[in-house]
Amino acid sequence: MKKYIIATIVGLLCIVGLAKVCSPASSTTQDNQAQKNKVEHKKSKPKQMKSQAELARPYKDPKDLRKAGSWKSRSEKKKYPDISDPKKVVLRVSLKGNRVYVLKNGKVAYTMLSTAGVYKHGKSATPTGTYRIQEGRGESFFNQGLNEGANNWVSWDPEDANVYLFHSVPTMALGDYNLKEAKKLGRTQGSHGCIRLSVPDSRWLMEHAQPGTKVIIKDK
């Protein structure tokens, strides 16, 4: 009889132990484990590597800057700054960064998406150096030799020959914008030497950039 009682107690203990092992975890335990897994996932998430273009930019992109390829809109959502005094304004171009920075009194007042000259053998088709905005400007042009044109141009050509310009994304023979090239805006290089801007940005610069305004062009 005693052996039977002992065997029964041992059997009950095994059943209870097995139930504890096989029973699902409580909601509290599951929540704790889920939280732990979430924290571990956050810790293990690798940092996103910066692109070569991001590394080439001398200034951080503003929060309201539109995404690359936004050629129909002004680059920033805020109002354009006053650039009527050429002594206080510098247009700083980052060729590899695909940006034009409007500096006022040494500080970034506005950032524009841009596309400059393609690189061949490590050199851009857009010359680097310090230049000045010239008198030359206009609504549109078309280059028969390149079979390409643009709108809203203003010259920074050192020879004042209207060869090197700020202008809109390129147009085709019938005046329509070249959508394939427009998508490069703010993303990569693509021009023959001029600096492309969005349609509104180029219009604003053509209308308001004063002759004598300094233009500084660098690879980065």
Out of 22, 167, 192, 208, pick the active-site residue. Answer: 167
Q: Is 22 a catalytic residue?
A: no
φ and ψ at 144, to 5 degrees?
A: -65, -35
pLDDT per residue as tens, the chain (220 positions): 444 444 444 444 444 443 443 344 444 555 555 565 555 555 555 666 788 899 999 999 999 999 999 999 999 999 999 999 999 999 999 999 999 999 999 999 999 999 999 999 999 999 999 999 999 999 999 999 999 999 999 999 999 899 999 999 999 999 999 999 999 999 999 999 999 999 999 999 999 999 999 999 999 9
Q: Which pTM does this prediction carry?
A: 0.78
**CA–CA separation, 115 vs 189, rounded Å?**
5
CATH topology for 53-218 is: L,D-transpeptidase catalytic domain-like (2.40.440)
Q: Is 194 a catalytic residue?
A: yes
Out of 14, 192, 194, 208, pick the active-site residue. Answer: 194
Q: How many CA atoms lie within 13 A of 155 on its CB side?
A: 13
**CA–CA separation, 132 vs 211, rounded Å?**
7
